[in-house]
Structure 1
């Protein structure tokens, strides 16, 4: 009796989206560590007649990441839109399967770079393939769409949170073991090869599971009808969506999102290179632990939402997250030892709260018919902001290497604080409308 029951549970679980997400994130965590260490090793021989060896290495690393990340930001825009349209027309697996193919090919290319000692610039081609497949821009919305369709309205937020927490947990596990796997090698296989082989195998399993085993469910018509009733009966939001756009709040929230997105993205852009230079000089194992600390923010941010939502509103949640990130980046400015890095990371426990909450708050400022377009505009604004802050933060970091390498983190902290201003204005404006909305609801 026990064995058939276990087999039945396993058969049910393997048809869900969670195994796809966890296998993908495990593989991506291994890949991120491998890429970071490979870039450092390949940049070790970079020379510049006017700079020191370490500064030349830092310039080579940051220049590579600048080009690599710009490609990843630019190329997925059109493919992601096409895949989203295919998904809406019934091909629900397309936004998941196609990006996973791009993930797999880019990981295989890095494996070939290591095995065949190919130039590091080959990874720009890998980034292009990754982007043309839709990348993360297509994969994650595809996952969220599938989760939404396969869950009832009352359980939807809980299921989405479960998927995101599992995603963060998989990243922590993958990052923790990545450094150890990178150092495994034999007489025929160099360092990093086994790590990348494991990453390719995990991604292959994720792709196969999504093609052959993943089950696409759709909630019944009765559940869809309940969705409207429950959303209108919510006690935390007005009974009806606004008839017209609250353009002032929309603009303020867009500005806040751009400022905070620039703050986070700019800091992350140079953080990988920062920990490789003196005085930190991390090895592969330390890189894995550092990435695990970054992934743990997924868990702590969701726990923060559960804890704080009982006593404060969305604006308060956003401000807590921004304060958390700003304080952590200010501390990161003066980091000179590994333990100080983890103390700075500890301060950023709630750094992932603002962006999802801004999206939620933004959707409440427009009619339901304009919600999708508004959120798309937000995503495009963040994408185009990346075209500006990636090269800007890279050049600022290169220009301040000799006197204050952590200056970019101070700049990131300032931008996060500036992002709090428009959010605070939205919070100040919102209570003025609440009495009217309550009377209208009665």
Structure 2
């Protein structure tokens, strides 16, 4: 937690400036800079492991690598990059879901295999290997990935100028839009934040719950549970790919929330190994709302506002992630003595908030996807203003 907080503020600031100002800096810098930070982190961790440096050095490393933006800048840049390449609104939902799918699957596979890798080659060589992979990624992005935004040296802004421009763009995103568009953006952002808080906080308690009575899982069963959880991003993507052909985005969000509620309530009462493993079955579509909400937000705003939007989303993910982890860990510590599944029930109960905001959104749009024409309605006004 201390390490997360050491670099969180810098991560948010860098993500806010670079992702929101993609039209000035280009999209690639939002992808390359976090990879360089990851490389610096891997080298630092290799040295820490090899020379047995004291743990406070890790806080310094987290602070230094915070200047490179971290995962918030990386994901914000990637999502903005992907949206730039989409030719129609329907592609946005699928392609954003693909990014979430890759992120979820690789995270699960990495977590599942990390124990075996550490046992085989140790911490030092593990971090060296990670650093080499980062070098390959940096080389690929720099040499083979074409930027979606063509930026001349004259267009590039200073950090202070970029920060001022960012705040003006975010201010314009919320203040210069029509009242209906403002309402839709706020409702979608509230839904995204509330659901991210509940899902991230609730699922972060799985391992603690599995280690405790009555399950008392060992590292083998923990690995099985992690492998089972890895299926959720895949099934959520398949759900989006199939259901989006027949259903509107709003209904996909509802289905995903109810899927998560079913799984997390089942987890609260799971007292056998088989039942805990089966918890992932009703939650197979639990990750579906997150990419769909990102796509819905990108459809509401103008192409020139995509950078500011995804910068806001990336910053919110960092903030909500830290807050939810701290909140649910504290709640679990207080309630574990009398009922270890209470945090799961709380997470399920909190889902009433995203459900309520989505019902409000549904009412505001007349039960149809009428929010997409807002973009086309505002484009002429924007063009007249520019002229």
When normalised by structure 1's length, the TM-score is: 0.66
Q: Whose Rg is larger?
A: 1
Quick one: structure 1 residues 80 and 342, their matched pair in 2 at CA, closer, same or farther if it must change by over 3 Å? same
Superposition pairs of residues 33-432 of structure 1, within 5 angstroms: 66-71=1-6, 73-84=8-19, 87-149=22-84, 157=92, 161-184=97-120, 191-211=122-142, 213-216=143-146, 218=148, 244-282=179-217, 286-365=221-300, 373=308, 376-377=311-312, 379-386=314-321, 388-431=323-366
* Mean CA deviation greater in 191-200 or 130-139: 191-200
1:10 matched residue in structure 2 = none
Quick one: structure 1 residues 268 and 118, their matched pair in 2 at CA, closer, same or farther if it must change by over 3 Å? farther
CA-based RMSD of the aligned residues comes to 3.7
CA apart distance, 1:174:
3.2
Could you tell me which runs of 5 or more consecutive residues in structure 2 were left unpaired when the two chains were aligned: 151-176, 377-387
CA apart distance, 1:322:
0.7
CA apart distance, 1:402:
1.5
CA apart distance, 1:99:
0.4
CA apart distance, 1:136:
1.0
1: CA distance, partners of 2:221 / 2:125: 18
Give the total of aligned pairs: 347
Structure scoring higher RCO (CA < 8 A, sep ≥ 6) equals 2
2: CA distance, partners of 1:372 / 1:218: 12
* SS in structure 2 at match of 1:310: coil
| Contact in 2 for aligned 1:253/1:358 (Cα 8 Å) | yes
Deviations 1:329-355 (A, max 9, x none): 222223344433322223221122112
1: CA distance, partners of 2:74 / 2:321: 19
| Contact in 1 for aligned 2:204/2:325 (Cα 8 Å) | yes
* Mean CA deviation greater in 426-435 or 334-343: 426-435
* SS in structure 2 at match of 1:312: coil
2:381 matched residue in structure 1 = none
2:165 matched residue in structure 1 = none
| Contact in 1 for aligned 2:20/2:307 (Cα 8 Å) | no
2:169 matched residue in structure 1 = none
| Contact in 2 for aligned 1:150/1:219 (Cα 8 Å) | no
CA apart distance, 1:420:
0.8
| Contact in 2 for aligned 1:260/1:416 (Cα 8 Å) | yes
| Contact in 1 for aligned 2:109/2:230 (Cα 8 Å) | no
CA apart distance, 1:415:
0.9
2:168 matched residue in structure 1 = none
Could you tell me which runs of 5 or more consecutive residues in structure 1 were left unpaired when the two chains were aligned: 1-65, 186-190, 221-241
